[in-house]
Amino acid sequence: MSETLENLSSETRKFPPPEALAAEANVTADAYAQADADRLAFWAVQAERLSWAKKWDQVLDWTNPPFAKWFLGGELNIAYNCVDRHVEAGIGDRVAIHWEGEPGDTRTITYAELLKLVSQAANTLTELGVGAGDRVAIYLPMIPEAAVAMLACARIGATHSVVFGGFSVDALATRIQDADAKLVITADGGYRRGKPSALKPTVDEAVAQCPSIEHVLVVRRTGQDVVWGEKDLWWHETVEQASPEHTAQPFDSEHPLFILYTSGTTGKPKGILHTTGGYLTQSSYTHWSVFDLKPETDVYWCTADIGWVTGHSYIVYGPLSNGATQVMYEGTPDTPDRGRFWQLVDKYKVSILYTAPTLIRTMMKWGDDIPAGYDLSSLRVLGSVGEPINPEAWMWYRENIGHNRTPIVDTWWQTETGSMMISPLPGVTATKPGSAMTPLPGVTADVVDDQARSVPDGGGGFLVLREPWPSMLRTIWGDDKRFIDTYWSRFGAGAGQGDDWIYFAGDGAKRDEDGALWLLGRVDDVMLISGHNISTTEVESALVSHPSVAESAVVGATDATTGQAIVAFVIPRGNVDTSGDKGEQLNVDLRNHVAKVLGPIAKPRQIMLVAELPKTRSGKIMRRLLKDVAENRSLGDVTTLQDSAVMDLIAEGMKSAKSED
């Protein structure tokens, strides 16, 4: 790969923060100056947001890089910080969670009630022999018990490993084995797409391969039949009968809090390890600053699943540490109909909404008239996470959901970073559609060439983090070497270049003339077309900027003439007729449109009109599978694919399509 990434697109629209919001904002531009003047002092101030049983002696120990220690000598209890202290402060009656089941059943849980539930669960785990340092697997649907289980583990110092409720027997078993977990917390099932979907049979099969598991704690959610084994215990017969009194003990700032597995492109999944004080400091601070959270009045809703890092940091730890009131929803966005999200915003008067580009593009596909049917006037801040948000999707979000009033915060971060790293601040930053803008105060991000030199403004390259940050991963569970090899060996000291340890995030990015950052997707996906490095994101955004396109995925397929050629998969918007000649005409129009927006070098060789794209459960497009199809290979690993039928349809279509060149 040559030195940098091509910078093909340009964006001139810019939206300053709303005046009223800026005037009352939690954070002003001073935060950047303070962090620049003394980064560690800045993070020490943010750590004061938390209640420490024992104050730290030192903010950061970076003497053994890349193994960081934050807030050394400090002690705190995470569950105490997320629950007890709010009750002690007299806000026990505040709603912590407005939970809505997919069938429409609801539960309202105040902080005082949450304290009771978490204490009962902590007592039960202790009775079952789970103690500090033990690992617990959590395999639950989006029900309040998921948050309760995580907090109960944190409360007793057990390390949780949440596994997506949609993952297979194999995926669950491998994760249990890798972490050597003692206990699994699961449910009989959950509601998805209007019907109960079973979880327990998957756990039964996985546990049969996992001798480390001593007990299986089962929440009754759907009431469906389950096969009962000797390790099984009902949650309602144990937790709900346990004493609601439990005193939280403090743990060391570097005590392991959770492991969360991310599937790399190759090999077994990586168990990303996060610890206590630094993680909570940054997830709490970013939740408060990036969403401008006013805990007394805001109603916050993050639509992520709890099995994704976004659910950990921005459903559980960030919001609860801040005493926020939030909505938690069990099901899918199209049940009972495609207005469900907007109906929930309307019903609970949601003021801060945090969702993913995949959902925004799906809503674009479904049509503007759906959100238009609801009262969305309560919204005041909109957030996006998970993938680059194409400028057109950003504008759609702003106009149709935010009614041109609300700022959008496009937040870049990773399972590995633990919390947000690059994002606008809603009361400070003038935002550009499609850009995550600048590193947050206290974060040192850069875009570099292959020698780790900063690219000039207007250039593209590799996104790196030059200084350690509080919520950074500490290692890959059980594999320090893989931790170093994966994240620290591409640039800097770990690569034999100089003394500084540089974290490579795996993403490409560009920095525009104003210093704003644009994420360009994973560098593994970058296409090499006639000697030019072209990012998938730029071509996808160019396609989405055509009025007939809702969503697209682009891959580089081997090509005899150009090395690689661009193959695009496109989902048309809901109202677009693609029958017969109209489909062919659209195809030609789209190829020309990309050539016009980005230049002839980026013109796709071939475009496939499709109904769906292969995505992970957290909504990321799996380009690797599309590349397999485009190059006529059989499909690689599909364990994290949300819906495998999609791939069969795409492969069929691809076989019958004629090449366009």
Question: How many CB atoms lie under 10 A from the CB of residue 223?
Answer: 9
- One of 309, 393, 555, 641 touching ligand 6R9 (CB under 6 A): 309
Residues 225-264 contacting ligand 6R9, CB under 6 A: 262
202 versus 286: smaller Cβ distance to ligand 6R9: 286
505 touches ligand 6R9 by CB under 6 A: yes
Q: Which of residues 522-581 bind ligand 6R9 (CB under 6 A)?
A: 522
Using the CB atoms, write b or e for 376-397: b if 16+ within 10 Å. Answer: beebbbbbbbbbbbbbbbbbbb
- Angle, nearest 10°, between helix axes 30-37 and 39-47? 120
Site stretch for ligand 6R9 (CB under 6 A), options 248-256, 413-421, 426-434, 628-636: 413-421
Q: Are 366 and 338 spatial neighbours (Cβ–Cβ below 8 Å)?
A: yes
Residue whose CB is less far from ligand 6R9, 106 or 265: 265
282 contacts ligand 6R9 (rule: CB under 6 A): no
Of residues 281, 326, 262, 257, the one with CA closest to residue 111: 326
Q: Helix or strand or coil: residue 449?
A: coil
Among 436, 455, 534, 544, binds ligand 6R9 (CB under 6 A): 436
Q: Give the total of residues touching ligand 6R9 (CB under 6 A).
A: 21
Question: Cα 401 from chain centroid?
Answer: 21
**Minimal distance, residue 79 CB to ligand 6R9, in Å:** 23
> Which residue in the block uniquely carries the two structure tokens 């600053």?
289
Task: Decide: is 414 part of the binding site for ligand 6R9 (CB under 6 A).
Answer: yes
Per the listing, tokens 């050539």 go with: 595
Q: What is the DSSP letter of 534?
A: E
Helix, strand, coil distribution of the chain in percent, nearest 5: 35, 25, 45
Q: Which is nearer to ligand 6R9, 275 or 435 (CB)?
A: 435
CB-wise, 436 or 445, nearer to ligand 6R9? 436
Nearest distance from C-beta of residue 60 to ligand 6R9, angstroms: 23
Cα 248 to its chain centre, rounded Å, is 29
Among 81, 222, 284, 415, binds ligand 6R9 (CB under 6 A): 415
Among 388, 407, 426, 494, binds ligand 6R9 (CB under 6 A): 388
- Report phi then psi at 95, rounded to 5: -70, 125
Q: Starting from the edge strand earliest in sequence, which strands make up the sheet with 215-219, in order? A: 232-234, 215-219, 183-187, 135-139, 159-162, 256-262, 270-275, 475-476
Q: By C-beta, is 479 or 660 nearer to ligand 6R9?
A: 479
Segment interacting with ligand 6R9 (CB under 6 A) among 331-339, 475-483, 499-507, 637-645 = 499-507
Applying CB under 6 A, which part among 34-42, 60-68, 237-245, 303-311 lies near ligand 6R9?
303-311
* CB of 286 or CB of 606, closer to ligand 6R9: 286
> Of the two residues 327 and 520, which places its CB atom closer to ligand 6R9 in the complex?
520
Residue closest to 406 by CA, chosen among 388, 386, 378, 381 = 381
Judged by DSSP in three states, 240 sits in helix
Minimum distance between the CB of residue 436 and ligand 6R9, rounded to whole angstroms? 5
Instruction: Give the closest residue to 130 by CA, choosing from 105, 100, 152, 108.
Output: 152
Query: Given the rule CB under 6 A, which residues bind ligand 6R9?
Result: 262, 308-310, 385-388, 410-415, 436, 505-507, 519, 522, 618
